[in-house]
Chains A and B, each alone.
Chain A
Amino acid sequence: TQLLEQSPQFLSIQEGENLTVYCNSSSVFSSLQWYRQEPGEGPVLLVTVVTGGEVKKLKRLTFQFGDARKDSSLHITAAQPGDTGLYLCAGARGTNYGQNFVFGPGTRLSVLP
């Protein structure tokens, strides 16, 4: 059973288009993180959201944490080929000392020039 689901699984768009990907769960998380992973490399942390309803911006990327801290979205404005990659969300669970992370299956984004 997937604790975290991501949609869409695959997305191919043209340069300059906008897109939104989603991360959903029936569980509440103390925080949620978004990563981008290139083929053959480890995931690179993009952002951490902690508070329900929180919105964070990273250049053309906008991240939102759901009010109930069960879901999140990532919106990219004017996508560029450099945005191509696997976008992973990860929910943190447990106490501050014993916190572990559960990952979603990812959204594979391809931005065509």
Chain B
Amino acid sequence: EADIYQTPRYLVIGTGKKITLECSQTMGHDKMYWYQQDPGMELHLIHYSYGVNSTEKGDLSSESTVSRIRTEHFPLTLESARPSHTSQYLCASSELRKGQTYEQYFGPGTRLTVT
């Protein structure tokens, strides 16, 4: 059973506000990820981290930023929310399994609506 948590689950906020989406995992995984998913669409990687003080941008350009000060915590911040940021944001972490491949475990997601 994966132990990865995201808060808030739902957020409705006005344009221009600063928001932080929280993600925490208690499994001690080094690698963590943020994905963006629009309804009925595929997941797009927007940020990832291979460990503390390591952050990289993913395939999909995003105006958000991330930080990784502690292994278990990987928050995502939007300095000024816009309606185009409306989406579901999914956090994941992964561990190395036998056979030298990583398996990802996802949080429940945060559904963000910017009005």
Contact = CB atoms under 8 A, between A and B. Distances in A.
Contacts, number: 69
Interface residues of B, number: 31
Interface in B23-77: 31, 33, 35, 40-45, 48, 50, 58-59
A42 B90 contact: yes
A87 to B, nearest CB: 12
Contacts of B105: 45
A2 to B, nearest CB: 8
B41 A42 contact: no
A33 interface: yes
A37 to B, nearest CB: 8
Most buried by A among B6, B42, B109: B42
B111 interface: yes
Contacts of B44: 103
B96 interface: yes
B45 A101 contact: yes
A5 to B, nearest CB: 10
B109 A45 contact: no
B66 to A, nearest CB: 15
Interface of A: 30-31, 33, 35, 40-45, 48, 50-51, 88, 90, 92, 96-106, 108
